[in-house]
Amino acid sequence: MNQSRPGPSLRTIPEGDTRERLVCGDCGFVQYENPKIVVGSVVHVDGKVLMCRRAIEPSRGLWTLPAGYMELGETAIEGARREAWEEARADIAIDALLAVYDIPRIGQVQLIWRATLAAPGFSAGPESLEVALFGWDEIPWEETAFPTVRWALRHARDIGGLAHFAPRGNPPGESASG
């Protein structure tokens, strides 16, 4: 059960395919790597937004939005609600899709929703050092964990309470690094 490179680690084009895939040299298993979906939310509470200070790497100690990898068996919205609970012990109501961000370098598509609290209260989950509310003029921009956190906050601020709007994409020319 222990070797230096377990699992699919050979890059080759499987028969009948057109792209290189990772194949296991031991058993021939082909791993189809696809982009992963990150689901998250900007949660509006009394004119402020909820942010979490990360207890884990990467970017430990910096501020982020409740977000994480979507899991099998859930809808994207269920995933965003689960992440808000796991990271901020917040029971949220999803309102509208705020943004779809692409980060092709790391194979991610991020779906970020606008949300409110469905029930009062929040607190730090196991992956957060603390959870707090910030007004737009209080956000710790210099201590945010990822570019997409800054994008989503700016987009949420621009969109405000608009009822019908198209979700935003990456800011022009920006592809982020995570």
Residue type, 15: E
Nearer to its own copies, 17 or 143 (CB): 17
Q: Is 85 in the site for its own copies (CB under 8 A)?
A: no
Contact 66, 89 (CB under 8 A): no
Q: Is 115 in the site for its own copies (CB under 8 A)?
A: no
Q: Is 28 in the site for its own copies (CB under 8 A)?
A: yes
Q: Is 178 in the site for its own copies (CB under 8 A)?
A: no
What is the distance between the alpha carbons of residues 37 and 105, in angstroms, rounded to a whole number? 14
Q: Where are the beta strands (DSSP E) in 125-171?
A: 128-134
Binds its own copies by CB under 8 A, chosen from 59, 91, 102, 124: 102
What is the distance between the alpha carbons of residues 78 and 92, in angstroms, rounded to a whole number? 10
Closest CA to 51 of 38, 40, 36: 40
Residue type, 145: A
User: Of the listed pieces 27-35, 44-52, 56-64, 137-145, which binds its own copies according to CB under 8 A?
Assistant: 27-35
Beta carbon of residue 93, minimum distance to its own copies (angstroms, whole number): 15
Q: Is 29 in the site for its own copies (CB under 8 A)?
A: yes
Contact 23, 31 (CB under 8 A): yes
Q: Is 26 in the site for its own copies (CB under 8 A)?
A: yes
Beta carbon of residue 135, minimum distance to its own copies (angstroms, whole number): 26
User: Of the listed pieces 54-62, 69-77, 117-125, 136-144, which binds its own copies according to CB under 8 A?
Assistant: 69-77
| Phi/psi of residue 147, nearest 5 degrees | -55, -40
- What residue has token string 């012990």? 89
Q: Where on the chain is the footprint of its own copies (CB under 8 A)? A: 1-3, 6-8, 19, 24, 26-31, 33-37, 69-78, 96-97, 100, 102, 104, 107, 109, 111, 164-167, 169
